[in-house]
Structure 1
Amino acid sequence: MLEAPPGQIVTFNHAALCSALGITDDPARVVVETDGSRAIVTIYPANPLAVMPPPTVADMMMDRYGRIVVGRHHNGRPARRRLFDKRTGSAQRAFVLGTTGGGKSRTVQYALACEKRNRIVSWYGDLKGGQSAPESENQVDWRATSQEGVVLMLRAAVAVGEARQRRYAALGRNAFLIGDPDPLMSVRIDEANRGLERGAPYRDEMTYLVKELGRTGRSVGIGVELDAQASHLEELGGSDTLRAMLKEGEVVLLRWSSQMMAQLVADGLLPAGVQLMPIRKQLKPPMLRSQFDPAAGDDDDFCDTQGMAYLLSGPTPTSLMRHFRIGSIEPLPGLDPEILALYGPGEPARLEETSHDAAGPAYAARNDATAMAGLCQQLRESYQEQAEKTSGGSTGRTGKPRLDDRVVAVLSATDEPLTAEEVLDAVNEDGGREVKIGSVRNSLGQLADDGNGQGDGTVIRAGRNLYALNR
C-alpha cells in the first residue's frame, strides 16, 4: 500500500518497479492499481490471468442488478458488466475499445450470446462485412454487414424508439420494465470507426442516428453499443454527444496504444494522473540471449493477452481483468462450434409485433437477401441524387428539377393526401429521371422533418404512409 504526500500523485514506471523488486521473468506478476494519490501493488507467484476458463451458463445470466460476469479480475473476483439497470429502468450505452488483436470480436460474441440467453432483442451491425462475428448469423434478430444495411438498421431502431415513446407516454410511464410489454433491445455497431470516420459515405446520418439512440433509447429499453479501434472524436463522427456517451456508458478498454491513452484522459474517461498498467501484446517478456547461444533458436512459445482489459465504468477502473476464453484456441476453417454452443438452442428474441410497422420495410426484409439488397441500392441512389443536388444547386448539374421539387409539385396538384407509392408513380410520370421508392420516401421524410417535427415543414404526415402539402 502506497500513498503520495499531500499535493502529489502516484506515478510509476512499471518496468523499473519490476526491476527494483527483482521480478524479471514475468512483469505481469506485478499488478499496480492507483486512484491518484494512493496505490496498491500486488505481487503474484505466477501470472493470475495467464489461463482463463470458458464461461458457464450461470455467468451469462443477468443478476438482480442486471449484470453478467464477463471474466475475472487479477485477484480472482468476478468482473461484471451491466446490460440493464433495474434500479432506474435504463437500457445501457456501451463502448468497447481496443487495438487489432486485443479481443474485441470475442468480447462482442460473448455479449451477443448473453443477450440471446437473457431474451434481449439483438440488432448487430458488423462493418467488417460480417467477418467479425460470423457465428452470430441466425443467432440475433437482425444482422447487417454493409454500410447501407447498418444505416437502415439504425433508422429502424430510432423509429422503434419513437414508437415506444408514444406508447409509454400514453401509459404515463417514464421508465422501462423488461417484458412489460416489450423486450429489452440492444443495437450494436462493430468496427464503428468505419462508419463514423471522416470520409465514410454515411457518416453524418449514422452519427445523428447513434446520437438519437443515445439520447432517447435508455428510457424505452433500447441500448446502444459501439465497438471500435480508436477513440478519437474524428473517428467517432466528431460528435460531442458521442463523447458524453463514452463517459456515461459501460466502457471496456482492451489493449491500447499510447496515443489512445492520451485521448482517454483528454476525453475525461480517466482522471488526470491516473495510470493504468500497460497490457503487452504477449505475456512472455522478450528474452535477452546471445545470438551465439545454441538455445536461441526458433522459440515460438508465447501466450498472448487477448481479452485482457480494464472496465473503466466499473467500481475498480484500474484493476486489470481478463475476459473468459471464448471459442477455440486455434483458428478454424469455418464457424467455431464452441462459440455456437455459447448462443444456446432456440430462436433469438424478436422485436415486439406492435413495433413492426415502425421498424418498416427494412426490418421485414432483414432475412431476405434479395429484398435487402434492393433497399440498400435505393439508399445508395438516394444519396447519389442528394449529392447531385448539393453540387449542382437548386436544379442540379444537368439543369433538371431536384427530386424534392418534383415531390412538392406532385403534392401541390392534389388536395388529397397521397401514399409514398402514389407519389412515386406521379413523379416517374413527369418526364424526369426515373427514381425508386426509397428515394421518394427519403425525400418525403426530409421535407416533413424540415419543421423539426413541429408540423411546419413543407410536407406534413397526414397518417401512416400518407403525405400532403403543408398549406
Structure 2
Amino acid sequence: MGPTREQFIQYAPAALAVAAAAAGPWSAIAAGAAGAGAWAISVSAPALRSLIACGITATGCGIAAHQVLASGMNPLFALGLAVPAGAAALAHHRNLAGELLPALPATTTAAAGAGQSSQAQVITAYWMEFISGPTQTEGRKLIQAGAVLAHLGLDVGDEHMSFTGIITLPQGQQVRVKPADIASVYGIPASQVEMGDPKHYAPNALPVTVHLRKAPEQPQIAAGIPTTVEELWAAHVAIPDGAMPGTALTLTRYDGPLDWEGIATRERKAIGAVNLQDLAGNLDLSSIQIALAPTDKPSQMGVRVMKEHALMHGTMLSDVVDELAMDSRGYVRLGTYIDANAALVPLAQPGSGARHLYLVGGSRSGKSGILEQILLSAHKSRIAVILASPQAGTIAGAGLAAHCGDGLDEAMGALRLAYAVMLDREARYRTPRFPFTDPLIEFILDEAHMLLLASSQYHLEAKAIVEQLTRRSLKRGIGVVLATQTPLAEDLGNSTVIRSQLLIGGGAVFLRCAKGQGSLVGTNAVEGAEGIDLSMIPPQWPGQYAKIADRDMSGLDTEAAARPEDGTFGLGYLLTPGSQAVQFRSLHLDVAPVSLAGSLPPVAVEDCEAWRHREAIMRTPMVDQRGKNLIGSLADLLTKAEQGPPSAAQQGQPAGPQQAQAHPASSAGSAGGDARELLKPRILELLRSGSSPMTAETIARKLGTSVKHVRPRLSELKGRDEVINENTLWRAA
C-alpha cells in the first residue's frame, strides 16, 4: 500500500528539500508538482499555503547549493544551505500537526505533562486550567477542583480526533462534572461528550469520551427506513393509526434525538385530544419524556421531547411568594409548566363567584403540599376556608382555616357545615349579587374517598351533599377543592355528577398514583387527559441514583436538606376547562407555607344563622337511612338541628294511625281529585309563611302527604304565576 494523503502532505517537503539539493534549478518543477498535487487532493488552505512556502524555500536553497557546487567552491557551503530547507520542512510539519486540534482558547496557564505529545499536552492543560486545577488565573472558578483526567488516550485520524480518560476523585467524593461543562471548555457541542452511567461505575471514577472533531457520518441505511425526527413522525405518528394522524412536524429546536421541540400541524383540521401513551409508543419513549403544549390554533400542537426533564430542579415557594395571592382575574400560581411559564389556577372569577378544583395524587406524590399551598393562597387572598380532613393530622397549614374538621366524624361535620352555609346564602341571596358582601369561601375536602366510598358509614349522606355543593355553590361564592388518592370512580362514590361538576367548574390536578390505579381511560376517562396513566410517573427522576457518597458515614447526617431533584414530588398534569392536560410541577416547599402567612388572622365565615348554630348542624344527619330526601332549606335544617338526630328506630318506623289523624290531608289526597285540589291553598299558605324556598319533598313532608301529589299541584300553581321554581326550590311569587 502507498502512503496516505496525510503522510504525503507531512513528508513531501522533506523529500523536496533533499531532491532540491541534487536537482538544482529543476527543483522548481518539483515544487510546482507538489503544489498541484496538494490542490488536487483537496488540502485545506492553511496546509496548502504552508506546503507552497516550504517548497519555495527548499527550491531556493537547492538552486543556491547547485551554483556553489558548479563554481568549485567548498562543498561545506552547499551543505549549510540544507539547514534553511530543513527548518522550512519542520515548520510545515508543526503547522500540519496544529491543524488537527480544534480551535481552542488562545491562552492557557497549565503546565503540560511530562512525556505527552503536543496534542495531549494541550488537552491536559485545558482540563487542569478550567476543570480540575490548580489554576493560576485570578478570579476564575473551577468546575470541580481535584477532578483530574487520568488514563488519557488519543484517537487521531484523517477526519476525526477524540480522547478518552477517567475523571478521578479521592475516595468518598462524587464526580459533578457535566457534559456541558466539558463541552464549554473545549468549544464543542455537548452532544460530542459521552460520559459513563453513574449506576455502573464508582461515584468517584467516571469514564469520559470527548470527540473534538467528528468525522462526517455516512450511514448505510436501507431505503424506506425513517432516519430523521420528521421522517419518524411521518412514519409512525402521522399515519391513520398513529397518535396524531394527518399531522406534519416542524422542528424549532434540535439537540439530538432525545432533546428537541417542534410544532405538529394538521392542514385545515383540528388536532383534537392526543393520547399521550400512544404518542410515547409511536416515538419509542417513556411518557414522562414527552410534553404537549396546546397553541392558540386548534390545528397546531407543541411537542417537546426531553433527555433531562425541564422541571427536575423545581421552583421554590419562597421565590414566588408574591404570586400566591389572587390577581384581578381570580388566579393564583400553583406551579410551573414544562415551558417555564407560571401554572395558574382560578380560585374565583370576579362577577361569577368561586371555582372548583379536583386534585388526584397518591402517597408521596405532593398532594398535601398542594393543599397547604392552596391554604396559603386563600389566606393571602382573604378567602375563608372550611377544611375537612378525615385522616387526622395530615395538613400542616390547618391553622389558616376558619374551621377545621380533623378526623372522620369531624370531617363529616365540616361537610355539613359547608352545605348549611350554602343554604344560608341561598336564603339571603335570592338572586346572585356580585360582589358579595360576605367573603368567598373555599371548602377543602382531603382524602374524600374516606367519606364517599360505598364502605363508608357516611357514604349516602356525603355523596348527596357533595353533589349538591358542586352543583349549586359556585354562584354563592363557595368553591370546592376535593382531593382523592386515585381517579377511580369508586373514590367519588361512583358519582359522575361530582367529577363532571368539578371539571366544568374549575379544573383538575393529576399527580402520581399507585400502579394500576392511575389510568385515565375507560370508565375513568377525563376529556382533555386521554391516554394519561398517572402510575407511569416515576417516584424518582430517570438516571438518578442513591447519593450515598454524599452522606457522612461517621453517623447520621442530620443537616442534609431535600432538593427538588431528589424525587418527583408535585410532578403531574394540570387540566383547565376546554384545554389539553399540560405537564407541570407544583412549587417546591423550601419553607413551611405557614411561615409566609404573616400576622393576619384566618378569614372568618360571615355571622349568619348557619354559622351561629354550627355546633348543632355538624351533629345533625341531613338524609334518612336510605340516603334520600336531603334537606333542601335552611329552615328545615335548623328545625331538625333543634330536635336533635332521630334514633334509628324512629327513622325506620312507618306512619301510624296517630300520624294519619294528625294529617287528614294525606288520606284525603288518596281519596280523589277533590281532596287533592285542597292541597293548592295549603301549599300557597306554607310558601307565603315560610322564610326560605323549599323543595317539593320538604313541602310534602310538612303537609303530611306524598310528593307525587304535591308536584302536579306546584306545576299548576306555577302555570298561574302564583309560585316560582328556582333550581328545584319553590317559593311564593
- TM-score bracket for this pair, using the shorter chain length: 0.5 to 0.7
Q: Letter of the aligned partner of 1:350 in structure 2?
A: A
Query: How far apart, in 2, do the equivalents of 1:282 and 1:239 lie?
Result: 33
- Identify unmatched segments of 5+ residues in structure 2: 1-229, 245-274, 552-562, 620-640, 663-693, 706-733
Q: Letter of the aligned partner of 1:74 in structure 2?
A: I
Give the aligned partner of residue 152 of structure 1. 413
Deviation, structure 1 residue 236: 1.2
Quick check: 2:337–2:583 contact (8 Å CA) kept in 1? yes
Give the aligned partner of residue 432 of structure 2. 174
Deviation, structure 1 residue 233: 2.1
Give the aligned partner of residue 104 of structure 1. 367
Query: How far apart, in 2, do the equivalents of 1:282 and 1:147 lie?
Result: 32
Q: Letter of the aligned partner of 1:256 in structure 2?
A: C
Quick check: 1:70–1:324 contact (8 Å CA) kept in 2? yes
Aligned in 2, Cα 1:262/1:45: closer, same or farther, shift over 3 Å? Answer: closer
Q: Letter of the aligned partner of 2:504 in structure 1?
A: E
Q: Letter of the aligned partner of 1:115 in structure 2?
A: A
Give the aligned partner of residue 341 of structure 1. 595
Query: How far apart, in 1, do the equivalents of 2:283 and 2:407 lie?
Result: 47
Aligned in 2, Cα 1:28/1:152: closer, same or farther, shift over 3 Å? Answer: closer
Q: Letter of the aligned partner of 2:486 in structure 1?
A: A
313-322 or 98-107: which moved more? 313-322
**Is residue 454 of structure 1 aligned with residue 696 of structure 2?**
no
Query: How far apart, in 1, do the equivalents of 2:453 and 2:482 lie?
Result: 13
Aligned in 2, Cα 1:7/1:228: closer, same or farther, shift over 3 Å? Answer: same
Secondary structure (helix, strand or coil) at the match of 1:213 reads helix
Aligned in 2, Cα 1:286/1:157: closer, same or farther, shift over 3 Å? Answer: closer
Query: How far apart, in 2, do the equivalents of 1:248 and 1:113 lie?
Result: 24
Give the aligned partner of residue 542 of structure 2. 284
Give the aligned partner of residue 470 of structure 2. 214
Aligned in 2, Cα 1:16/1:121: closer, same or farther, shift over 3 Å? Answer: same
Secondary structure (helix, strand or coil) at the match of 2:332 reads strand
Query: How far apart, in 2, do the equivalents of 1:268 and 1:174 lie?
Result: 33
Query: How far apart, in 1, do the equivalents of 2:307 and 2:488 lie?
Result: 38
Give the aligned partner of residue 312 of structure 1. 575
Superposition pairs for residues 21-36 of structure 1, below 5 Å? 31-32=291-292
Deviation, structure 1 residue 218: 0.8
Quick check: 2:386–2:404 contact (8 Å CA) kept in 1? yes
Aligned in 2, Cα 1:339/1:357: closer, same or farther, shift over 3 Å? Answer: closer
Secondary structure (helix, strand or coil) at the match of 1:134 reads coil
Query: How far apart, in 2, do the equivalents of 1:264 and 1:225 lie?
Result: 23
Give the aligned partner of residue 243 of structure 2. 9
Aligned in 2, Cα 1:341/1:363: closer, same or farther, shift over 3 Å? Answer: farther
Query: How far apart, in 1, do the equivalents of 2:698 and 2:617 lie?
Result: 23
- TM-score, L = length of structure 1: 0.67
Give the aligned partner of residue 266 of structure 1. 523
Alignment counterpart, residue 57 of structure 1, candidates 321, 337, 342: 321
Give the aligned partner of residue 124 of structure 1. 387
Higher RCO (CA-CA < 8 Å; seq separation 6+) = 1
Give the aligned partner of residue 253 of structure 1. 510
Quick check: 1:450–1:456 contact (8 Å CA) kept in 2? no
Superposition pairs for residues 380-391 of structure 1, below 5 Å? 382=645, 385-386=647-648
Aligned in 2, Cα 1:41/1:253: closer, same or farther, shift over 3 Å? Answer: same
Quick check: 2:512–2:518 contact (8 Å CA) kept in 1? no
Deviation, structure 1 residue 96: 0.3
Supply the RMSD in Å over aligned alpha carbons.
4.1
Query: How far apart, in 1, do the equivalents of 2:461 and 2:509 lie?
Result: 26
Deviations 1:37-74 (A, max 9, x none): 86533245743211221243321111121000111111
Aligned in 2, Cα 1:274/1:33: closer, same or farther, shift over 3 Å? Answer: farther
Give the aligned partner of residue 310 of structure 2. 48
**Is residue 75 of structure 1 aligned with residue 334 of structure 2?**
no
Q: Letter of the aligned partner of 1:166 in structure 2?
A: A
Aligned in 2, Cα 1:63/1:226: closer, same or farther, shift over 3 Å? Answer: same
Quick check: 1:116–1:348 contact (8 Å CA) kept in 2? yes
Quick check: 1:281–1:304 contact (8 Å CA) kept in 2? yes
Quick check: 1:110–1:342 contact (8 Å CA) kept in 2? no
Give the aligned partner of residue 241 of structure 1. 497
Larger Cα-atom Rg:
2
Secondary structure (helix, strand or coil) at the match of 1:311 reads strand
Give the aligned partner of residue 399 of structure 1. none
Aligned in 2, Cα 1:357/1:108: closer, same or farther, shift over 3 Å? Answer: closer
Alignment counterpart, residue 115 of structure 1, candidates 378, 382, 387: 378
Give the aligned partner of residue 353 of structure 1. 607
Quick check: 2:330–2:347 contact (8 Å CA) kept in 1? yes
- Identify unmatched segments of 5+ residues in structure 1: 20-25, 288-294, 329-337, 366-377, 395-401, 413-448, 461-471
Q: Letter of the aligned partner of 1:97 in structure 2?
A: V
Query: Following TM superposition, where does structure 1 have runs of at least 4 consecutive aligned residues deviating by more than 6 angstroms?
Result: 34-38, 295-302
Query: How far apart, in 2, do the equivalents of 1:135 and 1:81 lie?
Result: 20
Superposition pairs for residues 290-305 of structure 1, below 5 Å? 303-305=566-568
Query: How far apart, in 2, do the equivalents of 1:215 and 1:273 lie?
Result: 25
Aligned in 2, Cα 1:258/1:39: closer, same or farther, shift over 3 Å? Answer: farther
Deviation, structure 1 residue 350: 0.5
Secondary structure (helix, strand or coil) at the match of 2:344 reads strand
Secondary structure (helix, strand or coil) at the match of 1:160 reads helix
Structure with more helix by fraction: 2
Secondary structure (helix, strand or coil) at the match of 1:113 reads helix
Q: Letter of the aligned partner of 1:255 in structure 2?
A: R
Secondary structure (helix, strand or coil) at the match of 1:188 reads strand
Deviation, structure 1 residue 113: 0.8
Quick check: 1:53–1:324 contact (8 Å CA) kept in 2? yes
Secondary structure (helix, strand or coil) at the match of 2:498 reads helix
Aligned in 2, Cα 1:317/1:341: closer, same or farther, shift over 3 Å? Answer: farther
Query: How far apart, in 1, do the equivalents of 2:702 and 2:317 lie?
Result: 55
Aligned in 2, Cα 1:174/1:450: closer, same or farther, shift over 3 Å? Answer: closer
Deviation, structure 1 residue 247: 3.1
Query: How far apart, in 1, do the equivalents of 2:575 and 2:510 lie?
Result: 7
Aligned in 2, Cα 1:79/1:112: closer, same or farther, shift over 3 Å? Answer: same
Give the aligned partner of residue 196 of structure 1. 452
What is the total number of aligned residue pairs between the two structures?
Answer: 369
Quick check: 1:176–1:220 contact (8 Å CA) kept in 2? no
Quick check: 1:308–1:322 contact (8 Å CA) kept in 2? yes
Aligned in 2, Cα 1:235/1:310: closer, same or farther, shift over 3 Å? Answer: same
Q: Letter of the aligned partner of 1:62 in structure 2?
A: M
Secondary structure (helix, strand or coil) at the match of 1:353 reads coil
**Is residue 186 of structure 1 aligned with residue 448 of structure 2?**
no
Quick check: 1:90–1:175 contact (8 Å CA) kept in 2? no
Quick check: 1:310–1:317 contact (8 Å CA) kept in 2? no
Q: Letter of the aligned partner of 1:452 in structure 2?
A: E
Secondary structure (helix, strand or coil) at the match of 2:357 reads strand
- TM-score, L = length of structure 2: 0.44
Secondary structure (helix, strand or coil) at the match of 1:346 reads coil
Secondary structure (helix, strand or coil) at the match of 1:164 reads helix
Query: How far apart, in 1, do the equivalents of 2:515 and 2:412 lie?
Result: 32
Deviations 1:286-341 (A, max 9, x none): 77xxxxxxx9988999721001121112675332111111255xxxxxxxxx2321
